[in-house]
Amino acid sequence: MTTLRYGLIGTGMMGLEHQRNLNAIPNVEVVAAADPVQESLDWATLTAHDRPLTTFLDYRDLLAADLCDAYVISSPNFTHRAVLDDVMETGKAILVEKPLCTTVEDVHHIYRAAQNYPSVFWVGLEYRYMPPVRHIIDVAASGALGDIAMVAIREHRHPFLVKVGNWNRFSTNTGGTLTEKCCHFFDLMRLIARANPVRVMASGDQRFNHLDETYDGRTPDIMDNAFVIVEFDNGVRASLDLSMFAEGTVNNEEVSIVGQHGKAEAFIPSGIVRVGERTGWSAGVEEKVITDDRVLVEGFHHGASFLEHLDFADAIRQGTPALVGAEDGWWSVLVGLAAHRSIEERRVVELRELL
């Protein structure tokens, strides 16, 4: 099988996460990397583990060198539109980290540009690939729960990690917490509902995190807690409960799907899933731990990034469309931006306002 050659654009935390996953996949090779910070490039060289890696301080020089069959974009969120505009000129396969973009204007621009893209255009919404979450998505899709009515997602976790230049401390760089972090969850909601969102209502603020930090005289403004309700065009309702000062917990994420005939829920990182029918209180509930034997690198997302890359590589080789494409990335960003607007303006926001 022909070896696929990958180039990394952005070699911070997520760039190295992609590199470690790609290193473990047969017939795939990371041959080049670009990052404007030399220290980040040095980390990529170390992560290559003596494999040849050509490095560039400017990603445009990487593109001009034409060494790659595919590009993985994990540069800071606010750079995605400009980087994608340049990378799409190559016509090569693309995997761009979430969020697709950070503003309404930019996400519409890239979504339109991706409509007739000649190669695979993939958005890194890898939470779909977490084995326990994937399992209950499949249970719901099978019809075992009946018509789906409610999706509830809880993420109780640690604060944002430190990143190069602390760019993730400011909403103007990230698109805001509900875009940067929670686009994953809005994507899951839409996938489970099998419908498109129509309205969003949210409440949230910055309660504790990063208020004692300053960067060039500015205090971070990144939200650290929120409740979000999303209504879909088929009547499904979904909720998000987010706290980023909740380290005192066992499971960071909980995903619950409730239908006419039953309920399925998944817990991360324990891997526990529970599926039960409406046969009586707690009766007939099956509990088990779900894993995937294909996972060779657990990484930051419990094997999800590895599984995502298997499908991305298959799509490149087979010439098939992305399983997680521009439309998925587009909707996930729009819901996040709508949630922020709902908080700022203290009202229900219709998605058509952003369309």
Buried residues in 109-130 as b, exposed as e (16+ CB within 10 A): ebbeebeebebbbbbbbbbbbb
Chain segment 280-303, per-residue pLDDT in tens: 777 789 999 999 999 999 998 999
Structure token digits, residue 234: 């088929």
Residue 284 has a pLDDT of 82
Chain segment 264-284, per-residue pLDDT in tens: 999 999 999 999 999 877 778
d(CA 154, CA 318): 36
**272-277/262-268 β-pairing:** antiparallel
Look up the CATH architecture of domain 4-125+308-323: 3-Layer(aba) Sandwich (3.40)
Residue 283 has a pLDDT of 74
Residue 279 has a pLDDT of 84
Using alpha carbons, list the distances in angstroms from residue 150 to 189, 241, 255, 263.
9, 14, 11, 10
Structure token digits, residue 34: 């670009």
d(CA 214, CA 175): 19
Proportion of the chain above pLDDT 70, given as a percent: 100
Chain segment 167-193, per-residue pLDDT in tens: 999 999 999 999 999 999 999 999 999
**HSE-up (13 A, CA, CB side) for residue 344:** 10
Residue 302 has a pLDDT of 93
Chain segment 113-124, per-residue pLDDT in tens: 999 999 999 999
Residue 280 has a pLDDT of 75
Residue 200 has a pLDDT of 98
Residue 107 has a pLDDT of 98
Residue 281 has a pLDDT of 78
CATH code reported for the domain at 128-297+331-353: 3.30.360.10
Q: Is the peptide bond before 26 cis (omega within 30 degrees of 0)?
A: no
Structure token digits, residue 196: 């498109």
Task: Calculate ∠ Cα 285-286-290, nearest 5°.
Answer: 140
For the beta carbon of residue 161, count every other beta carbon within 10 angstroms: 8
Q: Is the peptide bond before 99 cis (omega within 30 degrees of 0)?
A: yes
Residue 10, phi then psi, degrees to nearest 5: 100, 115
pTM score: 0.97
- CATH 3.40.50.720 domain range(s) in the chain: 4-125+308-323
- CATH 3.30.360.10 domain range(s) in the chain: 128-297+331-353
List of the chain residues with pLDDT < 70? 1
Residue by residue, DSSP assigns 174-220 as HS-HHHHTTHHHHHHHHHHHTS-EEEEEEEEE--STTTT--BTTB--
Q: Quick one: DSSP state of residue 307?
A: H
Nearest to 312 by CA among 322, 304, 303: 322
Question: Can you tell me whether residue 68 is helix, strand or coil?
Answer: coil
